[in-house]
Amino acid sequence: MKRRSPRAIRRLIPTILLAAGLLGPLHGPAEAVIGGREDAGPLARASVMVLNARGGVCSGIVLAPDVVLTAAHCVTGAEAYRVHYRDRTGEPVLITPREIVVHPRYDRDAIKARRRSVDIALVRLPQPLPQSFATAALSRAAPPREGARLTIGGWGVAAEGDHRSTGTFRVLEMTVVEPYGPGRILVWLANGTKRRAGACEGDSGGPIADAGGLVVAVTGFARGEGRDRCGAMTQGTLVAPERAFIDATLERWGRRADWAE
């Protein structure tokens, strides 16, 4: 990847924010992830946004003050990435990652080719996030089975295509489904009603958590009905099977993830 000068990087900041719809006041419908609700609880305090210079918006999970877990497709394929949050005054803050490590079994063509992929990556920051952020705990428990209730969270759109509605953390409780049998790498979630609901643009990389707030999976994909791209099912990559990758990467950085069950 070509390295940019600090001046060139600074010039990119307005471009990134404008493309992501984050320059200026944030506003949008009160309900979403699609069909969720606004939330400022533990999941929100352990989450950031991940942006790229092409206008892509994703979510990320704080594992350590200077480490973020996100979806691999959020940090591949563009020339510049930034971790984004708003400070206490509401001003946007963009941090250039120090290092990005993508899971070796990530396959960028997996969806088109209908192959399984471990869609996670770890992002190391050059400085710690503010103390107002919390760190998420990861679940080392066995994968959830059909009928289990999990909560998804993310900074994405409140309605499909409404990019001005990004930037507010929303959560939604969903039900585990097994359209392809019990998952060992992936988990699938459905709303369980006729109402459109689930992850959408900007929610990739966000947490999928159990009732105790432990992160079970990282959101990676959403599917809609008909021409819709979102609102039918949400897919995530389970974190417990990838513990070796997560722990080895954090150990190299002198950090540790919090695992519990």
- CATH number of the domain that 103 lies in? 2.40.10.10
pLDDT (average), residues 156-177: 83
> What is the total count of domains within the chain?
2
- For residue 158, being part of any structural domain is answered with yes
**159 and 130 housed in the same domain:** no
pLDDT in tens, 202-253: 999 999 999 999 999 999 988 877 777 777 789 999 999 999 999 999 999 9
Q: Calculate what percentage of the chain has a pLDDT beyond 90.
A: 59
Q: 124 and 92 in one domain?
A: yes
The more confident residue out of 34 and 179 is 179
Q: Has this prediction a pTM greater than 0.85?
A: yes
Do the domain assignments include residue 31?
A: no
pLDDT band at 27 (very low <50, low <70, confident <90, very high): very low
Q: Distance between terminal CA atoms of the chain?
A: 39
Q: Per the domain annotation, does 47 fall within a domain?
A: yes
Q: What is the pLDDT of residues 77-121, one digit of tens each?
A: 877 999 999 998 889 999 999 999 999 999 988 777 777 899 999
Owning domain of residue 79: 42-135+242-253
pLDDT bucket at 194, cuts 50 / 70 / 90: low
In this structure, the answer to whether residues 141 and 236 fall within a common structural domain is yes
Same domain, 195 and 163: yes
